[in-house]
Structure formats: C-alpha cells, structure tokens
C-alpha cells in the first residue's frame, strides 16, 4: 500500500515562482513539498538549467543562466522535491478533519500517490497561445516554445530549413539563440499588426525606463543583421502532403511561398489555468491579453481558501516577476500557518514589492504592441481548432448558429475540449469564436468546466491507490438474489 504524505504547504511547479516560493516557505519553517512535472527544476524559462548540454553561456543568454541562482538556495532550504510528478486531482472532501486541508492525487512514473496538504500554492506558469492557421497540425510545424525545449534540454534542432512566424519577444529570442548556436534561420515572418506601435506609444515611458529597452534593441539588431525579417504578414499557411514542405504567406499585398523543413509558430503566452479551473478558482477574461486568468489578490490568494497562485499562472509578467511573486505568496502562506506574524510578513515583503515593480516596468508597452491580430486568433473554414478531437472552426461556428451558447454545451455537440489535453490548447480559441458568433464578450460566454482528473492516468494507477474505511464503505457489492 502506498503511504500518504502530509505537508503544510504543497507547491505545484518548479519554475521561478515555485522555486522561490518553496525556498522562502521552507526557510520560514513551513513543512513544504514541491511537485514538478518535469525531470529537473527550472520550469520553461529555465528549462534543464541543471542538466542542459548547452554549455556556452552566450548561446542561451545570461537571462537563462540567472536560473542557477534559484537552484542552490532551494536545495539548502529543506523543502522536499518530487520531480516527474503529475498532479491530477485536488479534493477537500476526503481529508481527515484533523488535517483541515486538501487531498492531492499525483503520479510519478506510472505510480499513483496521495498527499495531504493544509495549503496549496499553484506555480503552473504559462503556456503558448494557440496559433490555429491552415496546416498547423502537419508534422514539421511546432511552437517556438517546443523548439526552445529541444534546444535547452537536448541541444537539438528539429530540421534544416527554418522559418519562424508570429509576434512577441520570444519569437526574436529563439532566432537570436539559434544564431548564437550557429543555426541558420531562413526567415522570420512578423505578424504584428500594422499601426500597433502607435497604440503602444502611450505606454512607452515605462518601457524606456525598463531593462527591456537595451536588451531588446540589441536582440533585434542582431537578428535583423542575419535573418530576413518580413513585417506586416497578414496571411499564413503551412503546406505539405502528410508533412510540412512549405509555408505560404502574404505581406504588403504580396504572396510568397518558401520551402521549409520546420515552421515555428508563436503569438505570445497565456496563463496555464487548467488546475486552478478544476479546483474552482474564479477566472476572469483579460481584455488586453485576450485570455483567461485567475483572480488573485496582491498576496496571491484566490477565491478558494488556502489555495494561492504565484507567477505567470496568475497573470503574465515574466520570469523575474514570477520569482518575486513566489516569495510574496510564500510570506502570506507562512503567516496564515502561524510561522510568522503580520508585522514580520509586511516587513519582509517590502524589498520584494520594490523588485516586482521594477520587473514589470514596461510590460504594458509589450502587451499592447504584441496583442495578436484577429485573423490569427479567430480562424475560419476547415482550420482545426480542437486538435484532440479534430474539430474545425466552421463546425464550431455552425454549432453556435444552431443555438449552442458556450464551451461546455459545445462538448455535447462536438466533443470539443474533451480530448487528452482537457481543452488546454483550444479553450481560448473556442471561447473567442463563440463570443464572435454571438456578438457578446468572452466573459459572458465563459470557459470550459474542468473536472478531475485533469491529466490522463490509467485504471491501474487508480486501483493501486490506498483505501480508507470511508472509501471501502462507498463500494456496494451487488449479490445475486436466490
């Protein structure tokens, strides 16, 4: 029988927010466990920071190597670290009254486990926004984030002829990292809408005072010097018979086709909210970022008591901001658990607040400048929206015309959002498509209602879970009547 572990604080995710939060909490005397889905700490931004084969520090850049400063303090903190752990359920219903917290189901290497925690801090980070263009499901089409994972974790590049397409800083960052590694980038197709810079200018003062200015200008200069950059792209299509062989695009009224082995897509990141949704945390539609994000207060508290969120999972602000938000949330948890008093919390948080304000300076400028164009968020025709169930944009639009009002009703019509990813990669697109067809706001349309398990697991894993007296009594054996 699998033993049940207990802790005061469970942190989910070992990116900058999770590492900083777990370290701070453990140092304050909180019995802390950190569960992370990846095999090594770092999250996405610091992926494989302890194991990467990329040893040349100029390839990935100093911002990446900053992640090392989080690792050693975490190792010395006393927090328990469980890598390769997939959290698939959180419940308050079956926890013994003496614990007064949550029961968490998670799996490691196909082995299911249960953990009881008084407080949960989600540090699930960000995910890339869907980029549903014709042909985006072809082999050879990847997200920029996926390509960056290959580079950081294995030192690999998926193909030879490479085209990057989309908008946002990460697009240019990967191009810069590829160039540093000696990898040729054939073209960068920038889909940033015309006139967006003018809309962003009211926020320029914050950007000019931010660390983004110097870094960004150097990065853009280096990429433009070595890569063909096509601006004003208004149409994009991946082409090929069974696999990608070319990309067709339109810019400045001219259409062109480029031969390509890999097309890397990116149009920003959005909070990874599946677990917080399933727990029942209130979600709100962010009109500027065009995505759902959990409602949190300045300490990371949510609408669910004793569930907090830190980092980009609570709203996109970047790696440095996530680090500070993690420490702020940990101070709040330590106070709630009685490890420190309110005065100690408030005194300790001041430098973190100052550093957080500095880290987010300039974000408003980026958010307006790189808000993705409607044409690349709201597909039409037979472009696939839900990849798991192969549901197209036209099918969704036609179902709305039949009277389907929202994403949860859409499941009954098309199974949209019911695949292995549980709507993780189509939720935002489905909500926006329904809102557009109905002529209402995404907030009115709503989001998928998620239920546990939030990640796939086998019946064998469930069957191997430890049994309690209550769970045994819940099983009714039907006997054959004489």
Residues 36 and 85 in one domain: yes
81: left (phi over 0), alpha (psi -120 to 50) or beta: beta
Q: Is residue 422 part of a domain?
A: yes
Contact call for residues 271 and 294 (beta carbons, < 8 A): yes
Residues 137 and 185 in one domain: yes
CA-CA distance, 261 to 281, in Å (whole number)?
42
Contact call for residues 153 and 64 (beta carbons, < 8 A): no
Q: Is residue 370 part of a domain?
A: no
Residues 234 and 167 in one domain: yes
| Structure tokens, 219 | 């990065």
Q: Is residue 223 part of a domain?
A: yes
DSSP category for residue 244:
-
Residues 389 and 324 in one domain: no
Residues 137 and 263 in one domain: yes
Q: Which of 206, 239, 267 is the C-terminal boundary of a domain?
A: 267
Residues 92 and 218 in one domain: no
Q: Is residue 361 part of a domain?
A: no
Answer whether 0.85 is exceeded by the pTM.
yes
Instruction: Give the residue carrying structure tokens 């320029």.
Output: 204
Q: Is residue 163 part of a domain?
A: yes
Residues 71 and 22 in one domain: yes
Q: Which of 267, 294, 321 is the C-terminal boundary of a domain?
A: 267
3-state secondary structure of 24: helix
Q: Is residue 134 part of a domain?
A: yes
Q: Is residue 456 part of a domain?
A: no
Q: Which of 316, 340, 364 is the C-terminal boundary of a domain?
A: 340
What CATH number has the domain bearing residue 55?
A: 3.50.50.60
3-state secondary structure of 330: helix
Residues 82 and 108 in one domain: yes
Which range of residues forms the domain containing residue 419? 378-445
What CATH number has the domain bearing residue 434?
A: 1.10.10.1100
Q: Is residue 450 part of a domain?
A: no
pLDDT tens per residue across all 482 residues of the chain: 344 589 999 999 999 999 999 999 999 999 999 999 999 999 999 999 999 999 899 999 999 999 999 999 999 999 999 999 999 999 986 665 555 789 999 999 989 999 999 999 999 999 999 999 999 999 999 999 999 999 999 999 877 899 999 999 999 999 999 999 999 999 999 999 988 999 999 999 998 998 888 888 899 999 999 999 999 999 999 999 999 999 999 999 999 999 999 999 999 999 999 999 999 999 999 999 999 999 999 999 999 999 999 999 999 999 999 999 999 999 999 999 999 999 999 999 999 999 999 999 999 999 999 999 999 999 999 999 999 999 999 999 999 999 999 999 999 999 999 998 889 999 999 999 999 999 999 999 999 998 899 998 888 888 888 776 666 665 554 444 44
CA-CA distance, 171 to 224, in Å (whole number)?
13
Residues 9 and 119 in one domain: yes
Residues 50 and 92 in one domain: yes
| Structural domain count of the chain | 3
Residues 99 and 120 in one domain: yes
Residues 176 and 286 in one domain: no
């Amino acid at each position: 029988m699998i033993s049940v572990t207990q802790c005061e604080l469970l942190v989910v995710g070992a990116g900058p927010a999770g590492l900083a939060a777990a370290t701070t909490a453990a140092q304050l005397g909180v019995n802390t466990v950190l569960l992370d889905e990846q095999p090594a700490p770092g999250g996405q931004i610091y992926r494989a920071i302890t194991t990467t084969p990329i040893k040349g520090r100029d390839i990935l850049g100093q911002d990446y190597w900053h992640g090392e400063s989080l690792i050693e303090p975490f190792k010395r903190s006393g927090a328990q670290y469980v890598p390769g752990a997939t959290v698939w359920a959180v419940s308050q219903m079956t926890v013994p009254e003496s614990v007064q917290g949550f029961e968490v189901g998670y799996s490691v290497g196909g082995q299911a486990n249960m953990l009881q925690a008084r407080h949960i801090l989600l540090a699930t980070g960000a995910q890339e926004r869907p980029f549903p263009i014709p042909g985006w499901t072809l082999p050879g089409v990847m997200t920029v984030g996926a390509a960056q994972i290959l580079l950081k974790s294995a030192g690999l590049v998926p193909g030879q002829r490479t085209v990057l397409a989309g908008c946002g800083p990460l697009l240019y960052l990967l191009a810069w990292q590829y160039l540093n590694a000696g990898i040729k980038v054939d073209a960068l197709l920038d889909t940033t809408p015309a006139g967006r810079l003018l809309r962003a200018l009211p926020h320029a003062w914050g950007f000019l005072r931010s660390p983004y200015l110097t870094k960004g200008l150097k990065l853009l200069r280096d990429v433009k010097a070595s890569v063909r950059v096509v601006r004003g792209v208004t149409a994009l299509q991946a082409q090929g018979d069974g696999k990608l062989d070319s990309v067709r695009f339109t810019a400045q009224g001219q259409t062109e086709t480029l031969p390509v082995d890999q097309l890397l897509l990116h149009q920003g990141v959005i909070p990874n909210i599946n677990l917080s949704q399933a727990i029942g945390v209130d979600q709100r539609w962010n009109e500027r970022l065009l995505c759902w994000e959990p409602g949190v207060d300045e300490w990371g508290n949510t609408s669910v008591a004793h569930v907090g969120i830190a980092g980009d999972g609570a709203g996109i602000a970047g790696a440095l901001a996530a680090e500070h938000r993690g420490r702020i949330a940990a101070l709040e948890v330590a106070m709630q658990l009685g490890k420190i008093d309110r005065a100690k919390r408030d005194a300790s948080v001041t430098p973190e607040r100052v550093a957080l304000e500095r880290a987010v300076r300039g974000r408003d400028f980026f958010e307006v400048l790189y808000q993705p164009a409607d044409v690349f968020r709201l597909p039409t025709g037979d472009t696939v929206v839900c990849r798991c169930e192969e549901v197209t944009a036209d099918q969704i639009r036609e179902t709305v015309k039949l009277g389907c009002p929202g994403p949860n009703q859409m499941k009954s019509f098309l199974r949209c959002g019911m695949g292995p990813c549980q709507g993780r990669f189509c939720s935002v697109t489905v909500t926006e498509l329904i809102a557009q067809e109905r002529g209402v706001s995404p907030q009115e349309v709503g989001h998928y209602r998620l239920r546990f398990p939030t990640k796939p697991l086998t019946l064998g894993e469930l069957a191997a879970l430890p049994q309690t007296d209550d769970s045994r009594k819940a099983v009714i054996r039907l006997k054959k009547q004489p």
